[in-house]
Amino acid sequence: MRTQVGIVGAGPAGLMLSHLLHLRGIESIILECRGRQYIEERVRAGVLEQGTVDLMIETGVGERLQREGLRHDGVWFSFGGRRHRINMAELTGGRAITVYAQHEVVKDLVQARLAAGGQIVFEVDDLSVHDLDSPLPKIRYRKDGVAHELVCDFIAGCDGFHGVSRSSVPAGVIAAYERVYPFAWLGILAEAAPTSEELVYTYHQRGFALFSMRSPGVTRLYLQCTPDEDLSAWPDDRVWEELCARMRTEDGWAPAAGPVIQKGVTGMRSFVIEPMQFGRLFLAGDAAHIVPPTGAKGLNLAISDVRVLARALEAFYQSGRHDLLDQYSTKCLRRVWKVQRFSWWMTSMLHLFPGDDGFDHRRQLAELDYITSSRAGMAALAENYAGLPLD
């Protein structure tokens, strides 16, 4: 088999890249180890920056997003028993976030690719990438027990943190920068109507908590826990008791309880590789970087990566230019590190760390007081949270 761009992974990065390439007349084939049902039902975060929303609408995959997505013009920070709202739209000239689950983004992109005749090969086995520094790199895999080889001009590794793409780069070529946080999030999905129309980030002496939602009838809530937390020690009643203890404010606000339909523990880490390319392999999304979920940036950063890559590939196929491809990593990493800084800052400001004392507690409260009372502080947070403008 032969194609122009072979894409490993049918997550948001791989699917969006294939969609953008199609709009530019560039062929691609996506190879995915999981089945279609799995990727369309796998529940992940769902906060979209303004730039991600705009790109989906501009490229024709935003119809359902516009109809079902929950636009938030502001975000709440709760500490000391009180909630404080930051009006992102007012501070950023109309930019906001939209709550729209990642698996819904995946559904929209899969449907668009298949409707346009795009090739997505699901449930492949033994996938490997080869000859990455040659003019014709290859992807080998098995489908239904039959071996295949896909010859490409370029390969996009969009197969996540544990995928084969990054690990196929020769040793010593890329450097990894990582920080693992000493806590995790215990998250639940509950059949309960949201009691706030916007997200609420809570700093509390018992630990961080976050109120979010997925739809008018479903809430998504998180609380800080240990990385090795035993879920069996957290029956539903205890989860709700702890969430309310951390989130309830002086005016009586608290999340509404309801049947828990999903429960899990999410680890926290920051991770970046440099460079994000080797030969004719280009890494995007979680294959190249991971951010802690506090800033809600993972999916958005992946979309930013492939937007840059699609433009570089378009320049190559239209005029033979190599410069944008050569600059891919440098251009992406400039944004990646800004997002890492913001996500680290949000995480450090809102969570309890082992060994913290009264000084640390008061420092965090002072930081929260500043960003919720200073227009400059609020504007900086709003600009980063709604998403830095795409270049």
d(CA 157, CA 369): 42
Per the annotation, the verdict on 385 as an active-site residue is yes
Structure-token pair, residue 46? 């769902």
For each of the domains in the chain, give its residue range(s) and CATH number, in order of start.
5-46+101-174+275-346 (3.50.50.60), 182-268+350-386 (3.30.9.10)
Residue with tokens 């559904």, as numbered in its chain: 107
Say what the pTM is: 0.95
Alpha helices in the chain (DSSP H): 12-23, 36-41, 50-58, 63-68, 88-91, 102-115, 164-167, 236-247, 298-319, 323-326, 328-350, 358-373, 375-386
Q: Does 100 qualify as catalytic in the annotation?
A: no
Catalytic residue among 100, 141, 201, 222: 201
Active-site pick, 137, 194, 292, 293: 293
pLDDT at 82 over 80: yes
Written as one letter, the residue type at 241 is: E
pLDDT at 43 over 80: no
Catalytic residue flag (residue 177): no
> What was the pLDDT predicted at 215?
86
Q: Give Cα 326 to chain centroid, integer Å.
A: 25
The residue-averaged pLDDT of 330-345 equals: 97
**Cα three-residue angle 334-337-342, rounded to 5 degrees:** 130
Average model confidence (pLDDT) for the chain?
Answer: 96
Give the per-residue pLDDT at 391: 67
Q: Residue 191 CA to chain centroid, in angstroms? A: 24
- CB-hemisphere CA count at 13 Å for 104? 21
Q: What is the pLDDT of residues 257-297, one digit of tens each?
A: 999 999 999 999 999 999 999 999 999 999 999 999 999 99
Residue 120 to residue 104: CA distance in whole angstroms: 17
Tokens of 73: 């013009």
The rounded distance, in Å, linking the Cα atoms of 207 and 248 is 13
Q: What are phi and psi of 173, to 5 degrees?
A: -85, -40
Report cis status (omega within 30 of 0) of the bond before 275.
Answer: yes
Task: Give the pLDDT score at 214.
Answer: 87
pLDDT of residue 44: 76
Q: How far is CA 227 from CA 158, 184, 186, 231, 351, in A?
A: 26, 5, 9, 11, 13
Terminal-to-terminal C-alpha distance of the chain = 35
Active-site pick, 19, 72, 107, 289: 72
Overall average pLDDT of the 223-243 stretch: 96
Average pLDDT over residues 107-121: 97
The pLDDT tens digits of the residues spanning 180-206 come to: 999 999 999 999 999 999 999 999 999
Contact between residue 10 and residue 306 where contact means Cβ atoms under 8 Å apart: no
Cα atoms in the Cβ-side hemisphere of radius 13 Å centred on 373: 7
Select which of 19, 289, 297, 351 is catalytic.
297
Condensed to tens digits (0 to 9), the pLDDT of residues 48-81 reads 999 999 999 999 999 999 999 999 999 999 999 9
pLDDT digits (tens, 9 = 90+) for 200-228: 999 999 999 999 998 889 999 999 999 99
The answer to whether residue 5 scores a pLDDT higher than 80 is yes
